């Protein structure tokens, strides 16, 4: 009889503790949906590889292998599959989805040659309404693609940053 009473008390404590934890955690969790404000302006990305870029020879499907990829928030916004010659500018017009606040672009350019000692670089420029707002050089370790992240801090509207002085 004592064993049955001890088991009932232990079971009651466990059930009570579980009920308490479930009720307190569900009542305290508040989900806030963050709405991001899209940044105003016309955005453009200019990429200039300082090497001959070509399709990735190690891709699973070489027919759809990428030469140059630009991603934002895990989504591919540009995917070039044709080769790109050294020094040839690649322009991505009308880039959508940049928001007021923090933005990140991931860029990867695959080399056409397989020289394991070559260091490669790519110049990245981001323009807002025709003005350069970021310029970054991404480079590689020897034998690897040029890749990296470009971080942008944007305001909601395009604010003129040039100071105007009165000379009179």
Instruction: Report the alpha-carbon distance of residue 55 to residue 104 in Å, rounded.
Output: 24
Which residues of the chain have a pLDDT value below 70?
A: 24-34, 57-63, 159-168
Please report the pLDDT score of residue 45 as a whole number: 96
Token couple for 154? 């944007």
- pLDDT reported for residue 46: 97
The confidence score (pLDDT) of residue 31 equals 60
Query: Three-state SS for 92?
Result: strand
Look at residue 138 and give its three-state secondary structure: strand
**Which pLDDT score, from 0 to 100, does residue 148 have?**
94
Q: What is the pLDDT of residue 133?
A: 94
pLDDT at 32: 62
Q: Provide the pLDDT for residue 116.
A: 77
Residue 118: the pLDDT is 81
Strand partners, 151: 104
Phi-psi map region of 39: left, alpha, beta (phi>0 left; psi -120 to 50 alpha): beta
The predicted-structure confidence for 1-33, as pLDDT tens digits, reads as follows 888 888 888 888 988 888 887 776 655 555 665
């Amino acid at each position: 009889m004592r064993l049955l009473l001890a088991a009932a008390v232990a079971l009651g404590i466990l059930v009570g503790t579980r009920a308490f934890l479930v009720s307190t955690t569900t009542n305290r969790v508040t989900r806030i949906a963050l709405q991001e404000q899209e940044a105003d302006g016309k955005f453009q990305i200019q990429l200039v590889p300082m090497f001959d870029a070509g399709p990735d020879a190690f891709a699973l499907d070489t027919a759809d292998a990428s030469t140059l990829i630009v991603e934002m928030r895990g989504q591919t916004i540009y995917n070039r599959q044709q080769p790109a010659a050294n020094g040839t500018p690649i322009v991505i017009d009308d880039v959508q989805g940049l928001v007021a606040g923090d933005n990140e672009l991931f860029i990867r350019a695959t080399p056409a040659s397989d020289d394991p000692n070559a260091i490669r670089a790519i110049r990245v420029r981001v323009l807002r309404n025709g003005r350069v707002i970021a310029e970054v050089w991404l480079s590689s370790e020897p034998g690897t693609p040029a890749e990296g992240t470009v971080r942008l801090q944007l305001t909601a509207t395009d604010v003129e940053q040039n100071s105007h002085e009165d000379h009179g």
